[in-house]
Structure 1
Amino acid sequence: MSAFGQAQQDITAEVSATMGAIDAADVDTLLDAVRSADRVFFVGVGRVLLSLQAIAKRLAHFGVDTVIVGQITEPAITDRDVLIVGSGSGESAIPLAIAARAKKHGARVVHIGSNAQSSMRDYADHFVRIPVQTKLNLAHEIPSIQPMTSLFEQCLLLLGDTVALMIVRADELDMPSLWRNHANLE
């Protein structure tokens, strides 16, 4: 087997095992939070933020009002909104500070991470666990051969795509019509 073949096989096996370990009921609660919110705000840092941006973009294609915290046109968060925090460790300083502020404004907070006992639990109304190895190397984490927290970032993106497909199926969305919400200045 080629080096590429072995690497991609190893990565897809890790991703499959991880996605299979996510609690479906927690994902249903995440979906309910997204569907019931006026706006869905997203916060994360680094590569996690990139995954969250992709999720926000996809939900926007479905007509969900999404906001990336820090974007220049960011509106005020209210008690009718939800903040989705992506942080594997649940200890990243910026997401923690933003979650605390969101709670002061009455918004619901959903934390997608790996560490259920993190500082984020003080702010999160709901937790979706992607049980992968974090920088903290805690017990009950799925180990990874990939660098740093790649497995978390990959599974976060796939979790977002899974939620998107759940919406498509539940709402019987017409896939070709979704293109009307796709960027058209490119």
Structure 2
Amino acid sequence: MTTKFSREQAAVIQELGKTFDAVSDDQVQTLIAAIQQADQVFFVGVGRVLLSLQAIAKRFVHLGIKAHVVGDITEPAITENDLLIVGSGSGESLFPLNIARKAKGFNATVAHIGSNPNSSMAEVTDIFVRIPVQTKLGLPGEIKSIQPMTSLFEQALLILGDTVALMMIEDQAIDMPGLWQYHANLE
């Protein structure tokens, strides 16, 4: 007997599968190279996208990467040796866009993970990873979702971050049990 939960979760998983089938391996590999070359990695986004980015930043810290979320009280200065990762499906959200412009003013590398390759963010983006899902703009070619608003983008962003982390672990032959040294221990 199929339950409502099993139907709905299967639909969500199917949407995620379709989404990841459409993400470019080359774009992801370019992002990974930039992460590995950067002295520090900064993240900026708003709303639920920010929550996904915060989780990715924490995972990167577990890998020994100096990762920071823009606006945190302990955020250091960004430099030309650093990478800013912007999460914005539409690429039009004002706060991330203005932070990206400011980062470019410091000659930092800017990576945009989003759905809209022709957004205002494109003018300051060095690296683009497209998650081609439905945005608030409703552009042609977007993968439609039965989920509310931009849930599919936020989910895909989080899973993309964990996938990138796993790829870096494998590429660098990182000892998984050794990662616990970076885990919070004041809990």
Q: Same fold (TM over 0.5)?
A: yes
SS state of the match for residue 7, structure 2? helix
Letter in 2 for 1:46: G
Shift of 1:126: 1.1
Structure 1 counterpart of 2:128, which letter?
F
Distance 2:78 2:175 in 1: 31
Aligned to 2:22: 21
Partner of 1:61: 62
Residue matched to 1:161: 162
SS where residue 78 of structure 1 aligns? coil
Deviation at 1:8, TM superposition (A): 0.2
Q: Deviation per CA, 1:40-87, whole angstroms, max 9, x where unpaired?
A: 000000000000011110011111000100000111110000000000
The equivalent residue for 1:100 is 101
Aligned residue number for residue 89 of structure 1: 90
What residue number does 1:4 align with? 5
How far apart, CA to CA, are the structure 1 residues paired with 2:168 and 2:127?
19
Tell me the matched-pair count.
186
Q: How far is 1:20 from its partner?
A: 1.2
The secondary structure found in structure 1 opposite 2:13 is: helix
The one-letter amino acid paired with 2:155 is Q
After superposition, the CA RMSD in angstroms is 0.5
TM-score, normalised via structure 1 length: 0.99
Provide the rounded CA distance (Å) in 2 between the counterparts of 1:148 and 1:45.
14
Q: Which runs of 5+ in 2 are unaligned?
A: none
What amino acid is the match of 1:181? Y
Aligned residue runs from structure 1 range 4-153, under 5 A: 4-153=5-154
**Could you tell me how far 1:172 is from its partner in structure 2?**
1.0
Query: Could you list the runs of 5+ residues in structure 1 that have no partner in the other structure?
Result: none
In structure 2, what residue type is equivalent to 1:24? D
Q: Residue type matched to 1:161 in 2?
A: D
Query: TM-score by structure 2 length?
Result: 0.99
Structure 2 counterpart of 1:144, one-letter code: S
- Which SS does the other structure have where 1:133 is aligned? coil
Tell me which residue corresponds to 2:178.
Answer: 177
After TM superposition, give the deviation of residue 181 of structure 1 in Å: 0.5
- Note the alpha carbon deviations across 1:9-51, whole angstroms, 9 max, x for none: 0000000110111000000000001000000000000000000
